[in-house]
Amino acid sequence: MPDIIQLLPDFVANQIAAGEVIQRPASVVKELLENAVDAGASSIQVILKDSGRTLIQIIDDGKGMTMPDARMCFERHATSKISSADDLWKIKTKGFRGEALASIASVAQVELKSRQEGSDLGTCVKIEGSTVSECEPCQTAIGTSFAVRNLFYNVPARRQFLKSDSVENKHVMDEFQRLALAHPEVAMSMHHNNNEVYHLPKGSYRQRTVGIFGQKYDERLVPVEEETDLVKVTGFIGKPEFARKTRGEQFFFVNDRFIKHHYLHHAVTGALDGLLQDSQYPFYLIYLEVNPSMVDVNIHPTKTEVKFREERAIYSILKSAIRKSLGQFQVAPTLDFEQESSLNIAPFDGKSPVSIPQITVNPHYNPFEQSERKEPTRAKTSGAIERSRGGGDWKEMYKILRGEEVKPDELGFSAPDSEIKVEQQVSSELTVVFQVGKRFIASPIKSGMMLVDQQRAHERILYEDFLAKGTDHHGSSQQLLFPFTLSLTPADHALLVDESMALQQMGFDIEDFGGNDLVVRGLPADCRQQNPQKLVDSILEQLHNGEASAEHPERHLLALGLAKGSSIGKGQVLQTAEMRDLIDRLFACEVPYYGPSGKNAIVTLTPEELSGKFD
């Protein structure tokens, strides 16, 4: 039999490696930014076109490369960061595998220009699909400039799997933010389609955090600082009242490398136990400095997951440091055993006259006088009928006990005729409904009992309504009495500007005010939430954390954010008419049994299931 095992060509091997390392434009930005930091750059510029599809250019003022190095860096497993296996346990740089540039060059058209200090000329290398087309001296500034054009031009299937520009731009922003937060000593800027998105000068960690997330975050930050022989903990924890219901603002850095670590995340949430509501995620920015020999960063291709040798000890130190900061800055309640505030009474000096407490008694008080008190009333189910002060015949009250019909006028009650008619009309059309735990709507049905989650049901109703209006372009707007100005981060501002047309079709009246501000002049007419800030925050959370696809484009995320921001919440008391109307509108939806997030909105219990609860 002939031999069947053969070596893959280099360009095929590079494309396979690119499938692991280069997944989208954000992956290219991440690798090139890390190389710029490792080169000792003090200033980095990022230039994008079409969210990185057309152009990704990273310019730094680092130490640059010689001509042999500029050519060699595109070879697979070529690196200047390590030279032996022992170096894997003392890694202080961000990149070290030597696969990134080879992978990028295999799926894009790359132009590299680099010059070292003291050299009159630099080097220009052009490479396309792993094939070098040019390598010659050129005039360029000190440092390195990488220009990556037409990503995945030779892998059309990979290019088709890229999401929309707004989604890809969001991922690029995330990578830029992570590296900018890790290195406030490096000045960084970003331009997208000739518009400046970020301009971050050198500064402290707090200044960099405020520069990225906005001035409003300055008041939300609680400093965290603790140093031990094992680990040094610094950073910030957000105040509990500003926690969100979705992830996205949680950052861990180990030796200036961004990581994701569920175990340490549990330490942070454990320190905030009792201060957060259910399913809330706090903002935190935690920097850990650990001896490189105590952490393994070589367990994941993207290097975002690490393994600690002393995980439990770091867990305890981190949790204690956060609790200490919360108490020190009076965010968490503390106990003062020295003094009880309720006994804070001035001592008697012995000179002031002593007065006997006086008791005032009204000798003319008559508890049976009806003019000064309110009689207990037994109203009808509407709950809106009140006892009038004029009186009414008390004997008529006994007609209720005998089941006779009593008019409100006979008891001295007054109620709007329209409310009574609506109540009678609704009760005659639908069966009995009642609220359970201020969260569920219960109603008996032929097959047993039906329970409706009022929040998910309302989210489903609003979601389909907003989605239909956005599709048909006929969303009505309710103008605000006073326009509301939103101050956003550069990333959020760019995201909403990209989606401004879709928002207007759903009923928003919103326009760009310059800088990173937007002016909201009107909200969707069916929107219960009248606070533009909370509504926009709900939309941004969906745009940041939701995943759009061909079946669920960005319009789906906008409608979902509007529905979640406008729906009735858990714990809200509903009147009978409101519950019946909610059920009617729910069953008029295309998918009534599930909320827009895919969770159950309706649960039915059969008599057998109910009987089983009593066995």
Between CA 553 and CA 367 the distance in angstroms is 68
**pTM listed for this prediction:** 0.70
| pLDDT score for 136 | 93
Architecture of domain 10-203: 2-Layer Sandwich (3.30)
Give the pLDDT of residue 148: 95
Residue 253: the pLDDT is 94
Confidence of residue 555 (pLDDT cuts 50, 70, 90): confident
Cα–Cα distance for residue pair 55/110, rounded to 1 Å: 10
- Where does residue 175 fall: left (phi above 0), alpha (psi -120 to 50 degrees), or beta otherwise? alpha
**3-state class (DSSP) for residue 71:** helix
The predicted pLDDT at position 138 comes to: 94
Distance CA 134, CA 548 (A): 40
The whole-angstrom separation of Cα 282 and Cα 325 is 15
According to the model, what pLDDT value does residue 293 have?
A: 84
Domain extent listing, the chain? 10-203, 206-328, 386-416, 451-602
Give yes or no for residue 389 having a pLDDT over 50: no
For 10-23, how does the pLDDT look when each residue is reduced to its tens digit (9 = 90+)? 666 666 666 667 88
> Using CB atoms within 10 A of its CB, is residue 481 exposed (0-12), middle (13-18) or buried (19+)?
exposed
What phi-psi label fits residue 66: left (phi over 0), alpha (psi between -120 and 50 degrees) or beta?
beta
Mean pLDDT over 496-524 rounds to 83
Looking at residues 583-588, what average pLDDT do you find?
A: 89
Tokens of 140: 């360029």
pLDDT band at 298 (very low <50, low <70, confident <90, very high): low
The distance of Cα 31 from the centroid of its chain, to the nearest Å, equals 25
Phi, psi of 410 (to 5 degrees): -70, -25
- Is the model's pLDDT at 64 over the cut of 80? yes
Per DSSP (E only), the strands in 221-294 are 221-227, 231-238, 250-254, 257-259, 284-290
Position of tokens 């529905």?
563
pLDDT band, very low/low/confident/very high, at 74 (cuts 50, 70, 90): confident
Look at residue 475 and tell me whether its pLDDT is greater than 90: no
Q: pLDDT (tens digit, 9 = 90+) per residue, 356-382?
A: 767 777 777 776 665 444 444 444 433
Specify the DSSP class assigned to residue 287: E
**Rounded to whole angstroms, what are the CA distances from 435 to 457, 468, 607?**
14, 30, 20
Position 248 confidence tier, pLDDT thresholds 50, 70, 90 = confident
β-bridge pairing 284-290 and 250-254: parallel
For residue 460, the one-letter residue type is: R
Q: What percent of the chain has pLDDT over 90?
A: 27
Average pLDDT, the chain: 80
Q: Do domains 206-328 and 451-602 have the same CATH topology?
A: no
Which tokens in the block code for residue 202?
């050198």
Give the domain 206-328 fold.
Ribosomal Protein S5; domain 2 (3.30.230)
Half-sphere CA count of 246, side-chain side, radius 13 A: 15
Mean pLDDT of 299-315: 80
What pLDDT does 233 receive? Answer: 95
pLDDT in tens, 190-228: 999 888 889 999 999 999 999 998 888 888 899 999 999
Q: Identify the residue with better confidence: 516 or 27.
A: 27
Instruction: Locate 133 and state its tokens.
Output: 């087309």
The more confident residue out of 351 and 165 is 165
- Cα 253 to Cα 249: distance, rounded to the nearest angstrom: 13
| Closest C-alpha to 231, from 321, 297, 296 | 321
pLDDT of res. 445? 83
What is the pLDDT at residue 418?
A: 38
Question: Which of 130-139, 226-235, 415-424 has the lowest average pLDDT?
Answer: 415-424
Structure tokens at 470: 């956005």
**What is the DSSP-derived secondary structure letter of residue 527?**
-
Higher pLDDT, 533 or 59: 59
* 335: exposed, middle or buried (Cβ count in 10 Å: 0-12, 13-18, 19+): exposed
Residues 188 and 200: beta-carbon distance below 8 Å = yes
Q: What is the pLDDT of residue 500?
A: 82
CA distance 123 to 138: 5
Topology given in CATH for the domain delimited by 451-602: Ribosomal Protein S8; Chain: A, domain 1 (3.30.1370)
Residue whose C-alpha is closest to residue 23's, from 210, 161, 212: 161
551: pLDDT strictly greater than 60: no
What's the CA gap between 16 and 20, in Å, rounded?
7
**Residues 495, 498, 499, 505, Cα dihedral to 10°:** 160
Q: Which residues of 138-148 are buried (b: 16+ CB within 10 A; e: fewer)?
A: eebebbbbbbb
Task: Determine the average pLDDT of the residues in 515-521.
Answer: 83
Give 106's contacts (C-beta < 8 A, 6+ positions apart): 11, 14, 15, 17, 18, 129, 130
**Cα separations (Å) of 109 from 95, 102, 115, 191, 327?**
22, 12, 20, 20, 54
Q: Mind listing the pLDDT tens digit for each residue in 325-362?
A: 988 887 765 554 444 444 444 555 566 676 776 777 77
The type of residue at 540 is: L
How much is the pLDDT for 200? 93
User: Higher-confidence residue: 567 or 375?
Assistant: 567
Q: How confident is the model at residue 295 (pLDDT cuts 50, 70, 90)?
A: confident
